[in-house]
Structure formats: C-alpha cells, structure tokens
Chain A
Amino acid sequence: MTAATSTPVRHRSPRVTWAVPRGARLLRVELLRSAMPWILPLIAALFWFDSYRPSTATAPLYGVRTFWNMGQGHTISDCGPFVAGVAAWMGSRDARRGLADLVTATARPRWAAQLVTWAATAIWAVAAYLLFACVMFASYAREGVGGTPPWWWVAVGATAVIAFSAAGFAVGAYWPSRFAAAVAAFGAAIAMYLSFQIGFSHASGWALILPTNSNGNFDGSALTDAGIFYRWLPDLPIARMMFLAGIAMAALGLTGLPGRAGGRRLRLGAAAVTLAGLTLAGTAVGLVRTADVTAHGVVIPALHDSSSDTPISYTPACGRAAGVAVCLNPAYRRWLPDVTAALAPVLAEVAGLPGAPVRATQVPAAYAGGSLVITMGGHPTVLHLSLGQLNLPGPCGFCAGPVAANQFIGWIRLLFAQSFVGAGQGAGRPAQQAVGAVLLRGAGIPFAAQPGLMASAENFAGPVSAGCPADTKTGCGPGPSTGAVYAAAGRLAAMPATARRAWLAGHLAGVRAGRVALRDLP
C-alpha cells in the first residue's frame, strides 16, 4: 500500500463517461451487476412456451391471439413471480451481504440507495418484458395477423412487472433472509393464481381490477374485433395501471419508513408515497366498480375519452359471390375466398326473390355479444356479416381442433338461410325452418346433413343457439330429418324450380312474418 498521493498508475477501469449525474452512475453500476439478467433466460423460455406458442394455435387476429397471453395475463404470470423473487433477492442484498452498516454510514440516504437498486432491477425486468412482447408481436406481424396490437394491455403488463418488482423488493428489504426470494416468488405466484381464479367467478365489479382477470376488453363474443373495427378502449387498462402503480408506490414507500432509511423529512416523504400509493390503488378499485360494458368494450365514465370511440377507418377487401359484392375488413382478407365460396350458392338460390341481398358487408361484432352473426336489412337489402363471432377456418385454440373450411362454409350458409327466412332471435317457426332447409338443400347441403350442421353451430349467436319462441308449438328446431318439417321441406323441394321460386316469391313475406304455417306449404 502506498502512502504517497502521487499520480497513480493508470488502469483501464472504471471506464465510463463521467459527465453523467451521480444517480445515473449509481444506476449504471447497479444495472451492470443486477441479478435480474440471470433469470431472464428462464422467463424468456416460459414466455415462449406459455405465452407465445399456445397463442399461435389461434386465429391470426390480434384480439384472439392476445386473449391468452394478454387477456388472461399469461405474460404477467410468466414474469411476475420470478421478478418478485429476484427483486426480493436484491432488496435483501445489503443486509444479506453484511453491507448494511457500510451503506448506512454513507451520505446518500439509505432509501435513495435502495431505490436505485430497485430501479435497476425493475428496468431489467420491464425492458425484458417489453422486448418479449415486441418479439411476439413482430412474429405475429410476420404471419400477417390482422388488426392492431393491444398496446394498452402491454402497458398493463409492464406496470404489473414494476409492481411485482417493488413488492418483492420490499419483502427483501424488510426480511433480509436467503429465503426471501423464494417466499416472494411463491407469494406472487399465489397472487396470480387467485387473480386468475377470481376471474372465473367475478366478471364485473372490483374483480375487474385484477391483472389476470380476462373479463374486460378481452371477453365476450366480439373480442376479435377490438383493434380491427374499433380501438382497444384504454379505460380498464388505465384503471389497472393505476392500481398496479399504487401497489408499487406503497411497497417502495414502505422501504423508506425504517429509522435508518434516512432523515425525518425523507421518512415523512416515504410515508406520503405509501399513502399516495394506497390511495391510487383504492381509487382504481373504486373506478372499476363504475365500469359499464358497452358494444366496444369496458367504459369507465371518469376515465373515458370519447375520441376512443372513433371507429378505425379502413379500405375493405372485396370479392364477388353470385354476382353480389362481398366486402370484408382487410384484417379478414385471408378468409374472403371462404366467405364468397360460402355465400355464392345461397345467394344464387335466392337471387331475384324478395329481400335477396344486393351487397354483403362485414360489420363489427358487438362486445356484449348476443347479436346475430348474419342479418339483412335496408332497401335494397344488404347482408351484414359479423364474422368476429364465428370460429374462422384454420387454427382454433380453444376448439377441439382446427376449423375446416367446409365446416365454416356450412355455418355461413346455415346462418344465411335462417336469416333470409326471418327466423330472428329464435329457432324460427316450422314453416321458416322448412323453407330454410330447402334453401340449404339448394345450396348443396342435403336434408340429412342439416341437423348435424346445426348442432355444430350451436355455440354461435343466432337462431340455432337461441331458445324457442314462446308460441312455438312444434319444438325448438326442425327436428330430425325424417320429421314433419323436413317432410314439408321435401315437398317444397320436389316442386319444379320455377314453381318453387314462384311460390317463394309470393309467400316469403308471409313466411318471414310468421303468417305461413307448415300446412300452408305446397
């Protein structure tokens, strides 16, 4: 050891730009030596196998793809417990390593030093989370996934990561044991599990605040059309971010309360931060209790910005079916051939009949669900397709298997026929069912195949899934293909085409209005 203070031998470290502020330099050292990067490969693997891969087995629309990983919060539950554990490890570092006295004996308040340590941990975790999310979305983009990414929900996930890191850090700071990391990670996993489970039983109210509760903008039959026809509403994400940020503030504030954290003024500041965090979290819970489910998602009046209600403008992708223009949102472009193939025979079958559509266009599915997949209206008649409510051809993550194009085509034809005969929100009257059966037969679906087709479509909003009308006397549906409905349909189908069309032209209005009974059919 040298007593002299002469110019020392130059060595290469520390090699930094020294113009940066003191806090930034501390942060740089903490970032370099944080334990968080060591756990990131594990989180990345979990992210890949639990968040990303299962989502690729769903339809290539952002609303569907991200239901699993963002809506149900798998991205959060993949990161949260590990982030909390590592943060607890870092929070307990000084005491665990026997450096608490040394750090406390420095001029910088202990709380300020701890906050820098936490910040480095959180920066790593959030950066990794955002990187993983961006890589996932980039992969979706390469596949041509339709719609826009739910960035608000990514922000919720990032805030959740911050909250987990803060809570874990507080555990470590208060309980500087080698077991703190495991306890914090386990506690976070339990919290995630409870949040997830509560989502199954609580679809509204306070439970909407829970970060892995999928009820919210990711629920209902219309989830696929968020980010396609209308924007991802930010109301619920903002409330959840408020809640999570409040938890983070409260946890970090708690670490500043002990006597050795700093001076009285600083500890008062820490107490204020804690109280502010608790208030913020409580306010967020109060806000979600005022939430309403609207056609486009969850609206929280105090947070709602009406500019979010502006539909997303688009140039439709159009094709033709039996001479009728069929236009879809470009996010659904890949299914246009299936839709035109499905519509062509039924449109040809009804061409020239009263109420035959002259144009088909896609409409957004309403968030609350329950609307019909296919409706017709206007003069001249326009066919409205709410494809967001259907399982589309291709991968179908929550189905028994991939959806075959033929199955999809059958559903479209079935729903078209039921809409054309005016079955409305019910199974339809027997005469409507019989006429519908004839139209389907003309479109290539024999009577014998129709009951099976209806059974496979029972999950979709429309006549096949609705209850029986109160005044229906002959059962909810057409019954077996050997029953009375199909017998009448068989008689109508057996007529010469010209005669059948003439009968339909004269009686369709009565059929739609329910004035024609089964016995009135020729």
Chain B
Amino acid sequence: MNVEIGEVTKRFGRTFAVAGVSLETGPGVLGLLGPNGAGKTTLLRMMATLIPPSSGSVRLLGRDPAGYGPRREIRRRLGYLPQNLGYYPGFTVAEFVEYFALLKEMPPGRVPQAVATAIERVELGGRARAKLRTLSGGMLRRAGIAQAIVNEPELLLLDEPTAGLDPEQRVAFRALLRDLGQRATVIVSTHLVEDVGAACSQVALMDAGQIVFHGTPDELAAGGEGSGAAGDAPLERGYSAVLAAHRSAGAAA
C-alpha cells in the first residue's frame, strides 16, 4: 500500500478539519469527493507532508513522514498540486517545471528529458518558453500539473486539478490520470463527479472531516439508484444519497 492512514485527526483550534480518517490505497486513481469544508484539502496536505496529523498514524510509500529523513524520501517520490497554485510570473513554463524538478532532487542527468516530457504530457510544448504571466488560467493549471508529474511520482496528490480546464483539456487530463494511475497512487480531490467517473478506479467521499464512503465509482453510483437523491447523473445521485444518509444518521445520533 502506498498510502496507509489510520484514525487520523487534524485539529485547528477547536475545529476538527479531519476527524478520524482511515484510508489505505495502492496504485490507481482515487477520487476524493466531498462538499466544501469536508476536509479534503487538509487530508491532502497531510499526505503531502506539509502538516502533521494531530493524532493517528500516517505511512506513505512505506515510510513514516514524522521523521525528517523518511519525509524527505517521500517528497522525492511525491507530486503535489495545491488547490490555489501560485506561480512565478517571470519564469517560463520550462523554467518553472525545471525548478521544481531540481527541488525534488531529481538526478541531474534526468532533468532535461523529464522536463520536456512533463511539458509535452500537459500539451504545453509549444509554450515551453512562454513566461507564466502570459498564460491563461487553464494553461497555468497545466503547468502546475507538469511540475507535479515531472519526477514521475509514486504518489501524486492533485487538489482540484481540472479547475480552469476547458472540456477538451479535461478529457485529455483524465486520460493522463488513468495512465499515471497504472504505476502510481494518484489521489484527486475534486468537486466534479464526472472526473471521478471517467478517471478513477476508486472513490472516497468525505463529509465533516470523515470518509463516509470508500469504494468504486460504480458502487457509489449504485447507492443513488432508487434513492430519489438529487442529481443529473448516477454518480451525482450516489454522491447526494450517501451524503444525505450520513447526515441523517448523524442527526439521529
């Protein structure tokens, strides 16, 4: 298992952003769904080794990120795209990706090819020498994805990766996700259930800091059948039904 999380909590003051999450997953694409404030980003940041859990255990790629040495080793094999990606306006696309390849301590000899490959995979090859400040929002997002995948990560964490992408790019991105998921563990946090349906082999649904569903997209879609839950597509109805069930159970308790 590349990700082994046991009863993890994360507290900010009196608020539990993550309240007892357990999750195990290996290679493949895991879609992390949930409403705003469900704790998806906090969970991803813990998996990105940016913040430690308040309690519980986290093992990533077989290592405990609490120790600096293992954490650094994890980071070498990690790809991360935060929700609000900033950028250096004066950098070109190639420099931006190269910069993060070097920060990820890739073997120097591999960097140029890896940079070129990553840029091509997000279809920015023609804009490799363009300054980031000249790119559209969707192109910037793709540059962010390129830096995340440049080191061919074993664990790839993507927070809202398709925000700002046009439909054509989203379709291409899903194909990229499926390809990456053949070798690596890819965890995609998203609001867009259609992305999950098209690209993910597993889905976890979070609400109020907890994982309330973990299964395949088909299982989630099945949960919505006949429930009368709102939604235009089976996955949306499953999403709504699971959330409604969890909330009503919580209210009853």
| Residue of A whose beta carbon sits closest to that of B78 | A105
Q: Which residues of A are interface residues toward B (Cβ below 8 A)?
A: 1-5, 8-14, 16, 18-22, 25-26, 29, 32-33, 35, 93-94, 97-99, 101-109, 113, 262-266
Q: What are the 10 A-B residue pairs with the smallest beta carbon separation, nearest first?
A: A98-B86, A263-B68, A8-B120, A3-B179, A106-B103, A1-B172, A13-B94, A97-B86, A107-B75, A3-B175
| Residue of B whose beta carbon sits closest to that of A30 | B99
- Interface segment, B2-10, B124-132, B227-235? B124-132
| Residue of B whose beta carbon sits closest to that of A3 | B179
Q: Bound state CA distance, A22 and B101, in angstroms?
A: 10
Find residues 158-201 in chain B having any chain A CB closer than 8 Å to their own CB: 169, 172-173, 175-176, 178-179
Across the interface, B176 reaches (CB within 8 A) one of A1, A8, A98, namely A1
- Interface segment, B14-22, B31-39, B104-112? B104-112
Known: A13-B128, A97-B87, A97-B88. A108 touches B103 (CB 8 A): yes
Q: Which residues of B are interface residues toward A (Cβ below 8 A)?
A: 45, 48-50, 68-69, 71-73, 75-76, 78, 80, 82, 84-92, 94-95, 98-100, 102-105, 108-109, 111-112, 115-117, 119-123, 125-126, 128-129, 142, 145, 147, 169, 172-173, 175-176, 178-179
| Residue of A whose beta carbon sits closest to that of B74 | A107
Whether B99 and A29, one on each chain, are in contact in the complex, defined by CB atoms closer than 8 angstroms, is yes
Known: A14-B112, A107-B76. A5 touches B179 (CB 8 A): yes
Known: A14-B112, A101-B48, A101-B82. A33 touches B125 (CB 8 A): no
Known: A1-B122, A8-B125, A105-B75. A14 touches B94 (CB 8 A): yes
| Residue of B whose beta carbon sits closest to that of A35 | B90
Across the interface, B117 reaches (CB within 8 A) one of A5, A16, A19, namely A5
Whether B88 and A99, one on each chain, are in contact in the complex, defined by CB atoms closer than 8 angstroms, is yes
Q: Bound state CA distance, A104 and B52, in angstroms?
A: 13
Known: A2-B172, A101-B45. A33 touches B103 (CB 8 A): no
Q: Bound state CA distance, A281 and B55, in angstroms?
A: 44
In the complex, chain B residues whose CB is within 8 Å of the CB of A20: 108
Whether B129 and A33, one on each chain, are in contact in the complex, defined by CB atoms closer than 8 angstroms, is no
In the complex, chain B residues whose CB is within 8 Å of the CB of A104: 50
In the complex, chain B residues whose CB is within 8 Å of the CB of A109: 72
Whether B128 and A102, one on each chain, are in contact in the complex, defined by CB atoms closer than 8 angstroms, is no
Across the interface, A1 reaches (CB within 8 A) one of B50, B68, B86, B169, namely B169
Known: A97-B87, A107-B76, A108-B102. A21 touches B82 (CB 8 A): no
- Please indicate which of the listed interface residues A3, A104, A109 has the most CB atoms of chain B within 10 Å of its own CB: A3
Query: Can you name 19 A-B residue pairings with CB atoms under 8 Å?
Result: A1-B121, A8-B116, A8-B120, A8-B121, A11-B94, A18-B109, A21-B108, A22-B108, A26-B99, A29-B102, A33-B95, A94-B86, A97-B88, A97-B89, A99-B88, A106-B75, A107-B75, A107-B76, A265-B68
Q: Bound state CA distance, A8 and B123, in angstroms?
A: 10
Across the interface, A3 reaches (CB within 8 A) one of B45, B94, B125, B176, namely B176
Whether A2 and B126, one on each chain, are in contact in the complex, defined by CB atoms closer than 8 angstroms, is no
Q: Bound state CA distance, A109 and B95, in angstroms?
A: 19
- Please indicate which of the listed interface residues A13, A20, A21, A33 has the most CB atoms of chain B within 10 Å of its own CB: A13
Across the interface, B123 reaches (CB within 8 A) one of A1, A13, A22, A107, namely A1
Across the interface, A2 reaches (CB within 8 A) one of B75, B95, B123, B129, namely B123
Across the interface, A105 reaches (CB within 8 A) one of B50, B90, B119, namely B50
Across the interface, A98 reaches (CB within 8 A) one of B50, B85, B103, B121, namely B85
In the complex, chain B residues whose CB is within 8 Å of the CB of A108: 102-105
Q: Bound state CA distance, A3 and B72, in angstroms?
A: 28
In the complex, chain A residues whose CB is within 8 Å of the CB of B90: 33, 35
